[in-house]
Structure 1
């Protein structure tokens, strides 16, 4: 199937679609599944470009292969989601003739809007992963890593309301909302010095006034907060709130702090499934190592899946380590020979890992044991 899978990957690459707009990609992938005998449900979790293909008995063990296919504004598939979709699809099609022999079930989850909106979060909340024993996907990158160091993330919208006045004529009557927002940034600069490894705050001013001869009565900023775990993120949110509320008190402004979108949970790699995937990669001549300590690669809605069921999200290299995704070079690599090689290797390793879950009860048992141990450790932390 290599040629057909690469053709599909290139079709996605040539026609990038942004989050929640991936109508062509979803139709192509769902149609391919249907042509191989999968039953496909569309418009899943209230998302017009989400789908779930299914085949098998419907009983446990149940494996979900995750497909991403949204692109980036102005950069196309600079995160390589065309490769993720083709690899997951290839694994599913390779497994199709074997499902009946396993007495298990295979789901192929079309997961839109990873870049903006968190489609997997909506799918988790809609129960798409209920009864699933293993959720499997890969991601192209600049390393061969057995798991992804992805942090928890939330965006906050912070809005200050003041009172307009002329800065010369009656400044004493004004309450400067922009001053309150700038004070918040200054407080966050101090806070950053004491944050633990993996925690981070980055903000922008989205509204700071209209003209210079009026004291702004409205100012607004957006802040992205990241932390190693979801519980650590909760603590960071409290700290950022305290900074903004303190700035409001000092300036006599009022402040409204709101969540901007859903919370991305931290990623919890299942060591049993990750080890299984890595062993199959090694058989193909690819050595997947542990991530470099202290390196974090942002956040993803796969974290919300990983805190629900045993999950893997390994990286396969398509560019050298001195490069990065979300760049034009990465987009080019996702449509080139290195991307093709990584996609095909991932498809085979995903298929073999899924088959191990479907055919060996011990893999399922050990994966859930490790999952429960990680969950307990998160709660105690």
Structure 2
């Protein structure tokens, strides 16, 4: 007879080569939002190998999946992310997230019946701007779940997710091309429209409340230096503390883009890249369990200082947390001074410290799921008092 956490830990340790191999393989083959074909296939294969039933192309999305094991009334989800950043590869460490999710799922496979749980790993594409979780949630992928979790890498261990709400927009100005030297007066300069808009945004910042963010890039500034640019394009993010604050801020930023169109005579098009990402609602009881388990594994959490600010980064997991009790802690990979979304951070995501983060995150999530299942008050809150099984078994036979 072994304690369930001992069983889970041994399972993860026994699969270390496969888990770290998966992490490194994903890192070496980065795929951007909605293009994660290899990643989804590799992760699905690993989950099939540890006993999970995998549904591919979940909700009609080619690179989404769900892997399920168990028949218990308590429905717990572990979210896997695996998309990379354009031009930066896995500079946000989603290879670590995916491998840790597989590890936690594998650890729980031998004990789901003893715990009275059903475990589902949801493969969620396009976190980096595409809002994959929101799209999946709208199509029912998170229906019936009682709690959800994932662990995200950063420079340091930070327990609480406190992300900005964010909107992602494509901006396009349409003007009229002409020869820049011979007939400049016959053109309508779409590049000037972006210049005016960016100046207006820069001036707006001094009137904005502390903590909001407005930032973006021009992805197409024109075709040739001797032609007045006819079409220019960019991508812009607007961030605020809550969705309500975001709606107010977005309107002010929109007027800056309208100023660019008005002053130059261009036509303006603003297209949402995804639905807005929401702020995060941490489930405090589940988070306390995670912190206790991670601390027992030797993780040391920080709660102040500029190096911990990865916990402010926006995530579509925030939208999940508004509907399902959830946590989204951060696990450190000892990368400083490198931080997320730098090429140096990408290099750190396959170091020994990153590999340890995979193993520790897998164990901490598995242990947290076990503690959730063993806690009668927490089970009652999550699913009610209708179940007639004993979920509080402390031991399980392992043959």
TM-score range (shorter-chain normalised) is: 0.7 to 0.9
Root mean square deviation of aligned Cα:
2.7
Residue 35 of structure 1: aligned partner: 49
Taking a change above 3 Å as real, the CA distance of residues 252 and 81 of structure 1, as seen in their structure-2 partners, is closer
Matched, 1:50 2:64: yes
Residue 350 of structure 1: aligned partner: 365
Moved more, 20-29 or 139-148: 20-29
Residue 16 of structure 2: aligned partner: 5
Moved more, 284-293 or 115-124: 284-293
Residues 129 and 274 of structure 2 are in contact (CA less than 8 Å); yes or no, is this contact kept in structure 1?
A: no
SS of corresponding position for 1:267? coil
Residues 75 and 146 of structure 2 are in contact (CA less than 8 Å); yes or no, is this contact kept in structure 1?
A: yes
Taking a change above 3 Å as real, the CA distance of residues 309 and 290 of structure 1, as seen in their structure-2 partners, is farther
Taking a change above 3 Å as real, the CA distance of residues 188 and 104 of structure 1, as seen in their structure-2 partners, is same
Residue 305 of structure 1: aligned partner: 320
1:64 Cα deviation (Å)? Answer: 0.1
Moved more, 218-227 or 203-212: 203-212
Q: 1:113 aligns with which of 126, 148, 151?
A: 126
Taking a change above 3 Å as real, the CA distance of residues 216 and 39 of structure 1, as seen in their structure-2 partners, is closer
Taking a change above 3 Å as real, the CA distance of residues 6 and 72 of structure 1, as seen in their structure-2 partners, is farther
Matched, 1:341 2:352: no
Distance 1:96 1:341 in 2: 21
Matched, 1:245 2:284: no
Taking a change above 3 Å as real, the CA distance of residues 214 and 135 of structure 1, as seen in their structure-2 partners, is same
Within-5 A mapping of 1:1-381: 1-14=12-25, 15-19=28-32, 20-57=34-71, 59=73, 61-164=74-177, 173-290=186-303, 292=305, 295=309, 297-364=312-379
SS of corresponding position for 2:207? coil
TM-score normalised by structure 1 residue count: 0.86
Moved more, 253-262 or 291-300: 291-300
Distance 1:339 1:170 in 2: 58
Distance 1:266 1:292 in 2: 21
Distance 1:179 1:24 in 2: 41
1:249 Cα deviation (Å)? Answer: 2.8
1:241-271, Cα deviation, whole Å (9 max, x unpaired) = 1112233333333322221233222233222
1:8-47, Cα deviation, whole Å (9 max, x unpaired) = 3323413423033333332332223223332211111222
Distance 1:197 1:110 in 2: 35
1:309 Cα deviation (Å)? Answer: 0.9
1:333-377, Cα deviation, whole Å (9 max, x unpaired) = 3222212222222111111111222232422455799xxxxxxxx
1:61-99, Cα deviation, whole Å (9 max, x unpaired) = 211011222334454433222222222222212212221
Residue 4 of structure 2: aligned partner: none
Q: Which runs of 5+ in 2 are unaligned?
A: 1-11, 385-399
SS of corresponding position for 2:82? coil
Moved more, 134-143 or 209-218: 209-218
Distance 1:287 1:108 in 2: 27
Distance 1:108 1:345 in 2: 18
Taking a change above 3 Å as real, the CA distance of residues 368 and 167 of structure 1, as seen in their structure-2 partners, is farther
